[in-house]
Each structure stands twice: as C-alpha cells, then as structure tokens.
Amino acid sequence: MRPELRQRLQDEVVPRERKPQKTKLVAHADMDAFFASVEERDNPALRGKPVIVGGQPGTRGVVTTANYEARKYGIHAGMSLTKAGLLCPNGIYVRTHGGKYSWVSIQVMAIFRKYSPSVEPASIDEAYLDIASCADRWGGPGRYAETIRREVRQTLGVTVSIGVGPNKITAKIASGLNKPDGQTILPLDNVLSVLGPLSVREIPGVGASTEEVLSDMGIHTIRELADCPVRVMQNRLGKYGEALRRIIRGEIESEITPLEERVDDKSMGHEHTFHEDVQNRDTLLARLLQLVDKATRRMRRDKYVGTLVILKLRSSQFRTRTHQRQLHHPTSDPFTIFRVGQSLLDEIWREEDGSVRLIGVSVGHLFRPGEECQGLQEDMFETPKAERLNGLFSAVDRLRDIYGEHVLEFAGGMEMLRRAGSIESVKH
Ligand code: TTP
Ligand code: MG
C-alpha cells in the first residue's frame, strides 16, 4: 500500500486493543461488482448496461470485473478481453482506475471501523468484522448488517453484501448467498440449516482436487461433509479435513487481525538491474520468475502469506513505474504470484515501449495466517497438490541452504530464457 494511502487509512483508525482476538460472531462484507459499481456511480450513463472493467476488447489483458448485467453474457474476472469482446460486443468497456478504487476502499473500511472494534480487510473490497460485542446494540445481526449497508450506499453510492456467521469461513459463504445488495444471517445454533444443501465447492479454499477427494468419499454437500465421522475425514484429508469439518459446523472461532496489527507494509521482494537493458518479454518474465522465487522463499521461511503483488519497472530512461494488484486469497505460492506479476507486466509494458533497465517484484500485506485459517486460505485444501508443492518447496529450500541459491532454478524460467536466446544474460 502506498505510504500516503496507509497514512490516510491510519488517520481514520480509532486507537484500539492491540491483540488479535478470537470472536464468536463474524460479519463478512464484500462490495458488489466493486470496480464496475464505482465506474457506474461516477458515470450514470453506464447504469443498466453491461459494464466490463479491464480495457478495450481485443487488447492484451484481462477483465478485472464485470457488473451483474455483463455477467449474464458469461463474462467474469480473469477472462481475456478478446473473449469478453466476442461474448458481449455491445458491452461498455472501461479501463481499470486503480487509484480511484483504492480510495473508495479506504472509505468503505473507515465505515466498517465505525461499526466494529476489530476490522480485518481481506482484499480491496472485503473485510471481516468482529461483531460479537456490538451487534446487539443495533438490535441483532440482521439490523446491524442493514445499518452498515445503508450507510455504505448513502455515503459512497455503491452497494455491499454482508454475511454473518460463527467464523470467517461461514460468514464469507453467507455474504455470497444474497448478492448483490443483500445479506444472510446464519442461525448460530444451526448453520447447517442454511449451508447444508450447498455444494462443498462453495467453501472458500475447496477447489477441484479437494472436491474430487470428497466426491470419492460420497461427499457432495456441506451437510454431508459436516456429518462425516471425524476419523474418516482425518484419514482422507488429514488435519485440514478435520478443521474443515469443524469450521463448517461452526465449531471453530476466528481470529480477526486488524490492519494496524499486521506486519503488512514490511513487504518482501527483490529487484534486479540488467547488465544490458532488455526489450524482450520472455527475458523479463524469466527474471520475474527468479525474483518471485526468491521473495516467496523468504515468505515461506518466515511463514508469511500476502495479498498484494507489486511489480516495478524502470526504463532505460530511468522512468520508474509500479503497478499492483490485490489478490483474492492470501498466498505465498510462487506460481500464483508469478502469474499476477506477469499480467501486471503485460498491463504496463509492451516491447515497443522500449527497454527495461530494472525489474522488481514484491508481495505486500503480509501476515501469518491465524490458526483456524491455516490451510483454508488460497487453495490449501487442494491437499494432494498443496502437500506435494509444499514438500517440493521445502526440499528445494533445503538444497539451496546447503548448495547455494542457484543450485535449482525453475524450469519455466530456464525455458523462457532459452526461447529468448538470452540464457547468458542472466547468469549470476
Ligand atoms: P470480487 O469481490 O471477487 O468481485 P466483485 O466485487 O467485482 O463482484 P462480487 O463480489 O459482487 O461477486 O473482487 C473485487 C474486485 O477485485 C473486483 O471488482 C475487481 C478486482 N479483481 C481483479 O482485479 N481481478 C480478479 O481476478 C478478481 C476476481 C477481482
Ligand atoms: Mg466483491
């Protein structure tokens, strides 16, 4: 986060308890079609039309978000602008205005802080609020959520959906059930009455491979997962499986870590100045991969995950540009971070822009995941894959401890260098 933004944010923050606290009641608030809603707010001519944020169709780059109108055409975040253009040729395509969304995000978080002693921003447009001690003051969680939603709508002209549950995961599922501009309050004594019929894929962190393991076990719905005997769960999915089952039954409390208590802006990153300025995308990507590898190695060592990727480029004329993206889930996975770095690079640089003197990448908003979320963020429930990758990374880290950093390089990076014909240019 830029220092001035952080300062503005901290100015809004009332001094509060320093220790992360466990809470029995969590609200998850997530803005609706966030970037697109801000664009619609600022240009009423867009309202009611399919709005796609990211850039012009046919250009390199991806959709960052689409409003609900555009989603009817099958457009979603991450889709290439070329494909979006084919699916919805009459859509309104707007470029991404990152600074504007960051400012709205700061204002939204400031509203949340008026309503909770402990607010944990989870990405640019979502936060967890500890509401155990304050919901009753507003007449219970339902009224409480309505009050916050009204204030956000009236003050900022955009809408937010809210879910309330006994922990972060259940609250996050709930916030998605009545989107856009809705709310869902899970009954604390029986969360399964609402969550039970949903597919296990609705659980944040459960991806295709965990779904496959669960499906093998005859488990498709959240209720079937919750009803599965602990032993069976432990056998198939280890401690993650056991935690998953308990969380979904509402048996595990969450820790809410306010921004000011995160290690946050002590981001971890690396940069490299080329011996000769570089104008080849593959060479830049190969170097990016190595830098990501180094940064994530430090993150793994110190057990950090982060939610912000920042790419820095300096041109041969010493013009420096940085570009950043909030991630959806905290991660230290080099492949995810590299992919985001790559798309940032593609958004701000073209070969015809000239040569690059320096490239850097860092991961910000660092924190150590709380106990209950360990393994639940990102795709950690992709256990077979995650365990394999974790095993692989720790073996690689050990070899590097012994033989030095360059004993092993990512094959992808080597391949890109070969393609670029510049394998020599990055020798250390
Ligand atoms: P989301 O909360 O996932 O999406 P959303 O707010 O657009 O829509 P909704 O919550 O109603 O489903 O993401 C928040 C913002 O983050 C989104 O508006 C744009 C940005 N974003 C990206 O830049 N890239 C991505 O791949 C995604 C998923 C989101
Ligand atoms: Mg959102």
Total-model pTM: 0.67
Q: Residues lining ligand 1, judged by CB closer than 6 Å?
A: 30-35, 64-65, 77-78, 124-126, 179-180, 325, 328
Partners of 305 in the β-ladder:
367
Ligand nearest to the CA of 179: 1
Q: How many residues does the chain have?
A: 428
89 CA → ligand 1 middle, Å: 21
Read off the pLDDT of residues 75-113 as tens digits, 9 standing for 90 and up: 999 899 999 999 999 999 999 888 898 889 989 999 999
Residue 405 among the catalytic residues: no
Residues 388 and 385: their CA atoms lie apart, in Å, by: 5
Residue nearest to atom 5 of ligand 1 (CA): 33
102 CA → ligand 1 middle, Å: 13
Please give the mean pLDDT across all residues of the chain.
83
Ligand nearest to the CA of 325: 1
Residues 287 and 289: their CA atoms lie apart, in Å, by: 5
Nearest to 269 by CA among 185, 366, 376: 366
Contact, 166 vs 24, CB < 8 A? yes
268 CA → ligand 2 middle, Å: 26
Q: Which atom of ligand 1 is nearest to the CA of 36?
A: 18
Nearest to 288 by CA among 416, 146, 174: 416
- Residue, of 264 and 136, whose pLDDT is higher: 136
The two three-digit tokens of residue 227, written as one number: 């009803």
Characterise 206 by phi-psi region: left (phi > 0), alpha (psi -120 to 50), beta (else): beta
Q: Which atom of ligand 1 is nearest to the CA of 125?
A: 14
- Give the distance, in angstroms, between the CA of residue 217 and the centroid of all CA atoms in the same chain: 30
Instruction: Identify the active-site residue in 40, 69, 120, 126.
Output: 126
Q: Which of 28, 53, 125, 347 to mutate to test ligand 1, by most ligand atoms within 8 A of the CB atom? A: 125
279 CA → ligand 2 middle, Å: 36
Read off the pLDDT of residues 112-145 as tens digits, 9 standing for 90 and up: 999 999 998 888 899 999 999 999 999 999 999 9
Alpha helices in 302-410 (DSSP H): 334-348, 383-403
124 CA → ligand 1 middle, Å: 9
Q: Where are the beta strands (DSSP E) in 166-207?
A: 183-185
pLDDT at 234 over 60: yes
What does the pLDDT read at residue 333?
87
202 CA → ligand 2 middle, Å: 15
What does the pLDDT read at residue 121?
84
Q: Which of 28, 62, 63, 65 to mutate to test ligand 1, by most ligand atoms within 8 A of the CB atom? A: 65
Lowest mean per-residue pLDDT among 159-168, 341-350, 353-362, 418-427: 418-427
pLDDT at 39 over 60: yes
pLDDT at 277 over 70: yes
What does the pLDDT read at residue 319?
84
Q: Which atom of ligand 1 is nearest to the CA of 96?
A: 23
* Dihedral sign computed on CA atoms, order 219, 225, 230, 234: positive
Ligand nearest to the CA of 67: 1
Q: What is the mean pLDDT of residues 2-26?
A: 56
Q: What is the mean pLDDT of residues 199-211?
A: 87
Q: Which atom of ligand 1 is nearest to the CA of 54?
A: 23
Residue nearest to atom 4 of ligand 1 (CA): 33
Read off the pLDDT of residues 303-340 as tens digits, 9 standing for 90 and up: 888 889 999 999 888 788 889 998 877 888 888 899 89
Confidence band for 158, pLDDT divided at 50, 70 and 90: very high
Secondary structure (DSSP) of 97-148 = -HHHHHHHHHHHHHHHHHH-S-EEEEETTEEEEE-TTTGGGGTSHHHHHHHH
Q: What is the set of domains in the chain, with CATH numbers?
A: 20-30+103-262 (3.30.70.270), 34-99 (3.40.1170.60), 267-420 (3.30.1490.100)
Ligand nearest to the CA of 101: 1
235 CA → ligand 2 middle, Å: 36
Q: What is the mean pLDDT of residues 14-27?
A: 65
Q: Which of 34, 41, 51, 109 to mutate to test ligand 1, by most ligand atoms within 8 A of the CB atom? A: 34
Nearest to 291 by CA among 388, 365, 359: 359
